[in-house]
Amino acid sequence: MSSIDMIFPDMPLYEGGWQPIYFEPVVGSGERVTIAVAAYGVTGEFQIIQSIRSELLECLYGINAPKIHSMIELVLLSSRNYFKQYKTLDSWKAPFDGVFLGHVSKALDEDLSGILKQAIRFSSSLSSLALDAERDEEEELQPKRYSAKFSKNIQMELHSINSSLNDSFNQKVKVSGSDVLTTFGFMNDRYVSNFGLLVPTRMSGSLNSIKAKIFDIEALKKSSYLMVPERFEVIIGTPSFSDPTLSDKAVTRLKDTLEMVEEIALKEDICVFRAETAFAAAEHINKVAA
């Protein structure tokens, strides 16, 4: 091997391509946002995913974000079904106006996930820039809203798994000498937990919100409350570490923040359970609390 060969790494062997899907919020305006990307491997593998994170949709479209998200879901369903049948998107037509298919770019990487990351990096600046941007923490209310939604979704999932635990959600307890009641996400005689969400675009605000939830559990543990549960826990919702919409920097920050949460909680003998979905959190609660 020559000295030149030793300087440069080997070329990735996985061949494929990627293709953006654009959305025009105001039809005919020419303003387009990348809402999804499709990635293909020469071996026949494919994935079509949403490229703009849901929390960013809320920032951009406010109360209309759920409608935009539903439209994106329709686009994903339609394009995936079409590709399964025809192995291409060349003649695919979106289920409504204002959606456009970009051209295919060839790519090399380690696997299909790597090609997806390339697609997002080169076609969806809103997602990548939003994730890596440093933010002023005027964002405290956003994480609380996301956590409230996460909690509601856990309750809905657990209702399907074990409806007998419904009444244990949002329990209000007096943990100090004052008359102020503290609310816990889930609590029965065996188990208590609070729910938090680490939002990649709102990491500092998310951490502050979770710290407050840990403090509430700590206060209950040290209180004179007669029916203190056996197990204390905080359930943390996070994206998958392999989520293609997350930059390497965002994943590193997510892992570091989660590690900090675990250190804070474990000092008080409070368990930490990480869940990538509300369903996973609901299954866990049913296992330890039923």
* pLDDT per residue as tens digits for the range 142-190: 667 778 889 999 999 999 999 999 999 999 988 877 778 999 999 999 9
What are 154's two structure tokens?
Answer: 């856990």
DSSP 227: T
Higher local confidence (pLDDT), 3 or 52: 52
One-letter amino acid identity for 100?
F
State pLDDT tens for residues 76-87. 999 999 999 999
Confidence of residue 8 (pLDDT cuts 50, 70, 90): low
Please state the domain extents for the chain.
3-132, 141-289
State the pLDDT at residue 137. 46
> Among positive and negative, which fits the CA dihedral 260, 263, 269, 274?
positive
Asked if residue 269 lies in contact with residue 229, where contact means CB atoms within 8 angstroms, the answer is: no
Closest CA to 103 of 14, 15, 18: 18
pLDDT at 270: 96
pLDDT band, residue 127 (cuts 50/70/90)? low
**What's the DSSP call for residue 268?**
T
Residue 246 token pair: 């997350």
What are 159-162's contacts with CB under 8 Å, separation 24+?
A: 160/282, 161/282, 161/283, 161/286, 162/286, 162/290
pLDDT at 134: 47
User: Could you tell me which of 121, 118, 144, 122 has the C-alpha nearest to residue 132?
Assistant: 121
Level-2 CATH architecture, domain 141-289: 3-Layer(aba) Sandwich (3.40)
Which has the higher per-residue pLDDT, 34 or 227? 34
Higher pLDDT, 46 or 10: 46
**Exposure string for 134-144, b = 16+ CB within 10 A, e = fewer:** eeeeebeebbb
Q: How many CB atoms lie within 10 A of CB 246?
A: 23
pTM of the model: 0.74
Q: Which range (114-128, 231-245, 267-281) has the least confidence?
A: 114-128
% of residues, the chain, pLDDT over 70: 90
What is the rounded CA–CA span in Å between residue 201 and residue 32? 22
pLDDT tens profile 26-43? 878 888 899 999 999 988
Residue 189 in tokens: 């005689």
Query: What does the DSSP assignment read for 238-265?
Result: ---TT-TTS-HHHHHHHHHHHHHHHHHH
> Which residue matches tokens 């409070």?
270
Q: Which two tokens stand for residue 14?
A: 């996985």
Count of beta carbons in the 10 Å neighbourhood of residue 103: 7
Q: What is the predicted pLDDT for the residue at 138? A: 46
